[in-house]
Amino acid sequence: MNRSPLTRRQAERRFVLLSVVRWLPVGLTIGMTVLLPLERGLSLAEIGVLLSVQGFVVLGLELPTGGLADAIGRRPLLLAASALAVASTIVFLTAESFAVFALALVLQGVFRALDSGPLEAWFVDVALADDPDAPLDVPLGRAAAALGIAIAAGAAAGGGLVAWHPIEGMSALVLPFILAATLYAVSGVLVAVLVREPVRGRVTLAFAVRETPLAVKGGLRLLRRSGVLRALVMVEVFWSVAMIAFESLTPIRLAEQLGTESAAAAVFGPASAVAWGLFAVGSSSVSLLRRRLGTAGAAIAMRVVNGVFVVLMGLAAGPVGLLIGYGLAYLTHGAAGPVHNALLHRQSGSETRAMVLSMNSMIAGGAYSLGLLVLMPLAQVTSPAVAMVAAGAFSIVGALGYLPALKQERGGEAVATA
């Protein structure tokens, strides 16, 4: 007997819970993805290549995995992603050489490609099935706020574990990765229990091979038809470069200022907790921003202000100024995400929703990877501060990508969803 469909409120509660459990392990290891290889002897240039490997894997897999999610359902991809998250974390934790770290980042790239979009697409499908006129930016903001709180809590716990360092003879950076792998496994169990989809019949390999290219073509056709959508996904080129500055360069600059990677990790954990708490505050402010500026106007404002704060991080003279800028960058980063995704969902329907999110993520991952190959060597040749200023200034230009959406929002133009 079929169970009754979920209501929008029920789906939102599950979406928020799954977002929390999915991102808590990210908080536990935030910053340490750079610091652990650095501690084990890799150079900044090598770390830049490693992190770009993950991005290029995501770039190559985003479209097929997005099409697969639209073709066979969101749940199977989320389950596979959880399994790969556990595997990639264990390999990364045990890596001692560039090659093994690279293997871990390849696995992590596959995990992120599978995980990119299906959960949010599932929630939006359920919400719109229950109420076709339901506003999306507010619940997406709530989920993003919960995500920020989860990462904040994880970062505080990760920093505390590093400072505690209870196991003698083992790096202080190891224990957070062990706990992260456990939480990824818990996330998979919760997905199996909570994500409910309409019955699609028996999905065979032949069906997946046949339907996935059709779903990909549908998404690409939509991208070709919609100038607004093309401009929105191009914003990610600029946004991703800013993210390199506050995600990857901040712990490196902090280690430079404090003298050791362990000292930087101990400080960066609590600082990340505060920053992700501010991310949650920014995400919670979506309804206020939308009322005052409109969805597209809020997106423009947050892109500009976020870039300015990244520039100020590079110009800050000491750790205090760096970390204040870091927190403010995350405040605006949190506010920008829900409005950006709400604009994306306006351009898609259920049959292309995961593909649109995947195309957006594909551009982000590709830009992030290419940016790493430029900014990490730049940081090594000049300084992390110079690389931060360059990244922040470049990211501000991305605000121009929201102008077609702003025009559509003010003019009430029709949206292409086929």
Domains of the chain listed by start with CATH number: 8-411 (1.20.1250.20)
Q: Is residue 251 scored above 80 in pLDDT?
A: yes
Report the pLDDT averaged over residues 75-93: 95
Average pLDDT, the chain: 86
pLDDT attached to residue 418: 39
- Amino acid 32: pLDDT: 83
Q: Is 83 exposed, middle or buried (0-12, 13-18, 19+ CB in 10 A)?
A: middle
The pLDDT of residue 104: 95
Average pLDDT over residues 35-50: 87
pLDDT band at residue 318 under the 50/70/90 scheme: confident
pLDDT band at 100 (very low <50, low <70, confident <90, very high): very high
Neighbour-count burial of 388, counting CB atoms closer than 10 A to its CB (0-12 exposed, 13-18 middle, 19+ buried): buried
pLDDT tops 80 at residue 262: no
Confidence at residue 67, expressed as pLDDT on a 0 to 100 scale: 80
pLDDT of residue 162: 84
User: For 134-148, 255-269, 362-376, which range has the lowest pLDDT when averaged over its residues?
Assistant: 255-269
Whether the predicted pLDDT of 205 surpasses 60: no
Query: Token digits for 301?
Result: 């404002």
Q: Check pLDDT > 50 for residue 381.
A: yes
- Place 311 in a pLDDT band, splitting at 50, 70 and 90: very high
Q: 352: which residues sit within 8 A by CB, 6+ positions away?
A: 70, 215, 218, 219, 222, 417
pLDDT at 207: 59
In Å, how far are 326, 345, 398 from 299, measured between CA atoms?
Answer: 19, 14, 10
| Rounded distance between C-alpha atoms, residue 363 and residue 193, angstroms | 32
Task: Please give the Cα distance from 396 to 247 (Å, whole number).
Answer: 17
Q: Identify the pLDDT of residue 276.
A: 83
Contact (Cβ atoms closer than 8 angstroms) between residue 40 and residue 173: no
Reading the block at residue 312, the tokens are: 């100020």
Confidence of residue 395 (pLDDT cuts 50, 70, 90): very high
Q: Is 191's pLDDT higher than 60?
A: yes
Task: Find the helix packing angle between 174-194 and 8-28, rounded to 10°.
Answer: 160
Q: Rounded CA gap, 119 and 15, in Å? A: 7
Cβ pair 384, 316 in contact under 8 A? no
**Mean pLDDT along residues 144-156:** 87
Question: CB neighbours of 232 closer than 8 A, spacing ≥ 6?
Answer: 340, 343, 344, 347, 360, 401, 402, 404, 405
Q: Quick one: average pLDDT of 95-104?
A: 94
Amino acid at 281: V
Band the pLDDT of 1: cuts 50, 70, 90.
very low
**215 pLDDT above the threshold of 70:** no
Dihedral pair phi/psi, residue 196, rounded to 5°: -115, 125
**Pair 363, 193: CB distance under 8 Å:** no
**C-alpha span between 383 and 379 (Å, rounded):** 4
Residues 6 or more apart whose CB falls under 8 angstroms from that of 414 comprise: none
List Cα–Cα distances, 350 to 70, 71, 215, 310, 363, in angstroms: 8, 11, 11, 36, 21
> Would you say 116 and 62 are in contact if contact means Cβ atoms under 8 Å apart?
yes
Q: How far is CA 53 from CA 81, 127, 340, in A?
A: 18, 35, 26
pLDDT band at 417 (very low <50, low <70, confident <90, very high): very low
